[in-house]
Structure 1
């Protein structure tokens, strides 16, 4: 976790630098340069949040987390920002090219992980705003700006492709909030609805009434007989057989679900793996 926090500080600082350089590069386009400076200011605030998180951890406070980022993805994001900084510095990027690069930046897992950290810091009194205020408004600003650009529809289509679960509803089954908190961070600002419950009666009632694109459950939680719940849920809605994703530290302990071909994710697991699993079962 300390390694990821230190990496986030570098990435957010690099993104702020890129947007600042780009604002100067496109200074003749007042609207675009103003937008870039707004994004720069957002990234500076994100850097400050990452530093606060680092300071909290230095004091020995643990930050429980169900999500992680793979090492190769961390390296790719950092290298991409270095590449883009050099492109902007040497004047080798057009406005359209810059916008495509920006969509790439804003779709990366660093923003999802930062959203998780923001919400955790907020709940524990370290910051005064949630991810909706920090990350959600940042994404919204990008969407609103791209919608004003009528000369290239591929930009807004690319942004839409980043949110394949937009408009979907997910059901979370867990004794604690770790899975729900992780999913909230990953899908912040993407119009994905999360509903949760623990008691079997409540869950079965929700499944009977609601159209859930996926059910995400903690296979290790002590509060629910997951095998019993799964059997009854599939009886209510047979399509749920293909829509269940399980988190567990001990997949070997759940042979029943293995034999039924269900999807397992580790604890923690990469944001990329979570997105891939949910996209495959929910679409």
Structure 2
């Protein structure tokens, strides 16, 4: 190859450009990105829509949607604005989803990395612990933790993260077992790199793509779990959340269906956005995907 051929060769686009080109090929993933952006926008603008307390009384009880200009989506049985609670509930859903996902991913990475890298009795011990957690249904374990820790939103979020780490741990373990004997790991080991550096600097970055994709699934499940707790009356009553809205609205479901239906649609669309985002991330991060 001549110097002229090298100079005439077009420069490769940056990685983020290639990533976006792969992602946007999936139209469903673009829809998920738009839905996610709407939820984030709702959370960011909640204070602008209603700068006061979303749990305060805003009008007469059970005003139907599109009847009162001051309450476009109506009010619940206590006279609280559904629109205000909907926007502030987006904050709670995103908070629970992001923090619980981080907690579960961190726990899963630590346990899966140790089990997959060292193997032997460490692997056996950690996998038996993982299997013990998996024998208990997630929601049953979550109810137990909430009963012990309390119903504050901080403890609920932590409890959701604790019950969601087993799947990430198994994924990380599988990735580490396939990467720990690769040539670049052996080369770093021969240079005297410590086990800690091998785990977190050499192997973990190459094992992250499937974990990042699966994080969208955990976020969706976290929102559903928080909503289920709130529906059962175990949520934090000091915050406006979509689950609380559905749980309180079921008492007037026959006469004011919108009290439960509106937050229910918000939950469905938010969970759908995470599912579509995960699909798009999988397409964009798959090394076998054609450019």
Structure 2 length as normaliser, TM-score? Answer: 0.26
Report which structure shows greater RCO (CA 8 Å, sep ≥6). Answer: 2
Structure 1 length as normaliser, TM-score? Answer: 0.27
Higher share of residues assigned helix: 2
Higher share of residues assigned strand: 1
